[in-house]
Structures are given as C-alpha cells and as structure tokens.
Amino acid sequence: MRRLVILATATVLIAGCGESDRRTNLPRPAPLVNMTAAVQDGVIRVSPTTVGAGQIVLIVSNQSDRPQRVTFATDELGGTRGGRTASTPVIPAKATGRLTIDAREGRYAVSVRDKAIRQARVFVGPPRESGQNQVLLP
C-alpha cells in the first residue's frame, strides 16, 4: 500500500513538471483557392484569373486530342518577384489533372509545350488573409 501511495505521488509530481514557456498560437494559413483550367485546341482558359498569394490548387481538364503537361510559371513579361514554377504530370487526352502550388505575388503564365495552344495569364495579388476565425475549413 505504501508503494502504491509513493508511486501515485511521484506520478502526480512528474506530471506537474512541464515547460514554463507559454505556447504561442500561430494564425492558420489562408484557405486554399481552387482554380480551374481547360486545355482546348488553340487556347488555355483559366478561372479565376486573379487570386491572392498563397496555396492554389489548379484543376486541369485536358480537352485536347493529345496528352499535355501543364506548367504554372513566372510570366516572363510580368516581372514576377521571386515566383514559383510547377508542372502537372502528363495529362492524357480527355482527362483531368491537378497541380498544387504556393504562389507568390506576381504574374504567371499557364502553358503547355505545344506552341499552337496559346497560354493563359494569371495575376496573383497580395497574400490572402488568414483562415484563423473561419469555421468549417478543411
């Protein structure tokens, strides 16, 4: 019985020992933005064309007759400050693909290697607000 009391007391004392630093809550990141892109014969269409900086999910529909790799990259004409570049895996004809990118502020081009298909332009504005006080976010 004495051992049980000593063990219980030691457990309570050890559990009470913790860090003295207070935990700082960091704000949640901005909610994801879903953008859609359609690769068609002769053109790529993107919606919306303007978003705030942060994480973007680009859902691509390849409506052309050939497999395509879609690239989201700094627009050479836009002078993006420290932009990002990412590409999808090859998307088969008449199929969909997905690309997630953490985009910084600036101008971007959504393009494919096929020069017969005109690229789309996307403007990424200032960073979006935190999702800290929004409920039901993923």
What 3-state class would DSSP assign to 87? Answer: strand
Domain count across the chain: 1
Is residue 108 over pLDDT 50? yes
Q: What does the pLDDT read at residue 81?
A: 52
> What is the rounded average pLDDT for all residues in the chain?
86
Domain of residue 84, CATH code: 2.60.40.420
Contact 87, 111 (CB under 8 A): no
Name the burial class of residue 89, with classes exposed (0-12), middle (13-18) and buried (19+) by CB atoms within 10 angstroms of its CB.
Answer: exposed
How many Cβ atoms sit within 10 Å of the Cβ of residue 102?
11
Q: What does the pLDDT read at residue 80?
A: 47
Higher pLDDT, 126 or 20: 126
Q: What does the pLDDT read at residue 13?
A: 72
Query: Domain containing 64: what range?
Result: 33-127
Question: Dihedrals φ, ψ of 7, to 5°?
Answer: -65, -45
Is residue 19 in a domain?
no
Is residue 9 in a domain?
no
Give the tens place of pLDDT for each residue, 63-95.
999 999 999 998 766 554 556 789 999 999 999
At residue 43 the predicted structure's pLDDT band, cuts being 50, 70 and 90, is: very high
Is residue 18 in a domain?
no
Is residue 41 over pLDDT 90? no
Is residue 50 in a domain?
yes
